[in-house]
Structure 1
Amino acid sequence: MSNNPYIVDTNWLSERLDDPKLRLLDATTFLKIPDKEGDVGVWSGRDAYNEGHIPGAVFADLLKDLSDPNGKLPFTVPPREQFVRVMEELGVGEGTYVVIYDQGAMVGSPVVAAQWASRLAWQLRYEGFDDISVLEGGFQKWKDEGRSVSTEAGHYPRAHFTGERRPNLLATKEDVKKAMNDENVVLINSLSPADFKGETNTYPRKGHIPNSVNVFFGNHADEKTREVFDDSRLRESFEKVGALDPNKKVITYCGGGIAATWNALILNKLGQKNVAVYDGSMNEWASDPDCPLITGS
């Protein structure tokens, strides 16, 4: 298990920037939310990284390097061999610990969440690496505080990645179908209340998976300070839907398995360890007419 907190602040990171065991990863990816015409877009954050990043950080490309190149959906987990190779090239492996951040890059949205950083953190845990923290407030908070920014590409020595894949951290469509009627599983829709109720046209079909509950991933941090709320406030959101019951399993889902990892990380932080992420999420579910959806609350 990790010796470091699930979420760390900028002071914590600043004090450790020169630690030779640190591996600082910039996981920035840009997602354009649907406009009135329904247009969406997603692109790598590599150019943004080149324009400025936290000193020493290396860029981890979730879109191009850390997703399945043959996947039918964007951002599905890549083959383990691919993921391990990329991590080793980035210097992540035995004897290191990882801090991940992003630029909060959901274009056109005020939501404060480290969903791209949490996505990579979840992938690392899925592949058996635990010593990971996500930076609170990400790069934007770092810059807002006047901390140093670099345009020099970071580099770490090649590492040896160990650990074994944990299938229990990933939920499939079939797992979710079974969970719909299992009182021992809490299905959490991590999208906005409007998406949950079916008031938007974001996905091929409207609504949410039957018997799932809504905990919006954007409600866990202060929009102005970019700080994550304290545990007592975070706990309220999940306790009311029964997600902190240690005797239950939780499956989080969203649009494409990104925002769901932020909810999963917060749940882990609050002590709920039995959490899986539905990797296909609504992109997969809503594309299959045999998968039921309901609208309203």
Structure 2
Amino acid sequence: MKTLITSIRDIGPDLKLFALASCDRPLFPSFEPGAHIDVLTPAGVTRQYSLCGDPCDRRTQSILVKRQAASRGGSDSMHSLTSGQTLEIGQPRNAFALRNDPGKQLLFSAGVGITPIVSMAHALTASGRDFSWRHFARASDFAQLHDALSLDKFDAALTVGTDLSRDQIVRTIECALSANIACRSVYACGPAGFMTAVAEHSAQILPDATVRTEGFAPAAADPASRSFPVHLARSNKTLDVAQQETLLDALRRNGVVIASGCEQGVCGSCVIEVLEGTVLHNDEVLSNEERDVQRLMCPCVSRAQGRLTLNL
């Protein structure tokens, strides 16, 4: 889908907020809170960005782009854009859905992880559902971000911790969980260590709660990865995935075309169905429940313990 960049707002030295309008139609497709879009960056690589606007506003879509220090060209090229230029984007997809659970919802975000949580806050506010939100940020960034994302409408539910140490953040998480002992739904987005802290303390303090997290960096590859055989049930082919080869690459090498996006286990566009076998999950997309069932996998990063049978 072709979009027009209607505005770009600088938020500190490393963040830019992009407002997009559709070039082909007056309104964008509706999206669910927590959803993201694929963006074809000027560098020619596809990156995923969460939609951080109001899901009820279909005239504009907003994404927040952080310039990454180790960028392979994607975020750098996005930061070189100006208002009036165009971007190709994909349809909204959601691997971080807001569940329709009763009772109060707990939201946690840190840094740029605020982006999918903002859309959740919009949806919860619009539906009159009770929620509490803790966000952690650098003070130098947050004042501008608060204004740019119109966060004042969530001030009653939002508590912000700025320039806190790791221990202070953990204590704040523990206090927030302990103060909401009846909560059964927890959502977190931010750096891997932050999300791990939320998940671990939720398990201790709210053992009956469902915890959903979303990350924007691939899981570290296992240096001890082994080769494994794969049987394709529909085409009745068997192939071998080499030790230093991804399943996605092995499928392509054997003429099997799979849609893909980031190829880092983040976007979820290459998820395939597993009929038999044990998957070693390395993605940041599937929920814990989906991983336990062992019926889906991301072939771009995940591997197998022994033989796999796929619905391909």
Alignment TM-score > 0.5, same fold:
no
Given the two structures, how large is their TM-score scaled by the length of structure 1?
0.32
Given the two structures, how large is their TM-score scaled by the length of structure 2?
0.31
Structure having the higher Rg: 2
